[in-house]
Amino acid sequence: MTVLVAGAGGFIGGHLVRSLVEDGVAVRAVDIKPLGQWSQVCEQAESVEGDCSDPATGVRISRGIRTVYNLAADMGGMGFIESHKADCMLSVLINTNMLKAARANDVSRYFFSSSACVYAADRQRDQRVTALREDDAYPAMPEDGYGWEKLFSERMCRHFLEDYGLETRVARYHNVYGPIGTYDGGREKAPAAICRKIAHAVMTGPREIEIWGDGEQTRSFMYIDDCIRGTRAIATADFANPVNLGSAELVSINQMVSLVEEIAGVVVDRTYKLDAPQGVRGRNSDNELFQKIYGWEPSVGLREGLETTYGWIYDQMKAGFTRP
């Protein structure tokens, strides 16, 4: 094996494994979930069930590995993050023990998937938010629980580079979506949840959906293909500081609902659950640093990505599946 993907049973991890093996890379794919619960299982990879937060497991699975992609974490959409803060923070054990294992096994390169949730809350109080630059993470006041764990783990990566010479790379993901991902059960994110709700309205007849908040909160959403391309670019480049990986296309939740309505060919009545978890009021990715280093930026438009995502979710629901 040359590459280890931790969290390979998840949405992004599954797409990353497939991308790597399609390019002829020997991959060891690891996830704590049973194989039957992985979003994808790639036959060309070595698929292993294992707990990456366990020190002995970390040493065992990283032996003989050149590059580690650590995407493993206990996480989900805003509803999950706000109600499982302790669980999200316990993911620090994964990064701690995987970093120690990488050092023990002389791994050459270590990639950590961080999040835009590391950014200071006071910079995200308006839906007309100024796009977030990398240095906006400090002074620190990230998303409680999940954001603090990600920011702490970023610092740990930095100090493993400075103190031990382990080449660490960090990407701050901004709201990744696409097909072959979770779309129900409580861990799904906004694009998948909206696609599911509208698909359900199309199938069942009542043309009404519930939206969390007033729908005017804003975000940027990055399609999975851009995420995988950017992840691999960041992991292999010489730049060592955390860098944004996200689309700069800012939209409100209401605007995204309208896009999915157009794709589905329906118009739904909207009810607003104002006491539901909403996260920050506005968040967008400043891609100036990414463009400077890599010469491109995520470019799959939201409508294009939602067409594929909605189609996949609709087909799963029509076939009677409730999870990927």
Q: Which of 110, 146, 173, 223 is catalytic?
A: 146
Q: Please give the helix or strand (H or E) that residue 27 lies within, else none.
A: strand 27-31
Structure tokens given for 123: 């910079």
Closest CA to 10 of 224, 205, 162, 155: 224
Measured between alpha carbons, how far is 55 from 96 in angstroms, rounded to an integer? 9
State the CB neighbour count (10 A cutoff) for residue 294.
Answer: 17
Residue 146 catalytic? yes
Q: Which residues in 23-33 are b (16+ Cβ under 10 Å) and which e? A: eebebbbbbbe
CA distances from 206 to 16, 74, 86 (A): 38, 34, 38
DSSP state of 146: H
Residues belonging to the active site: 146
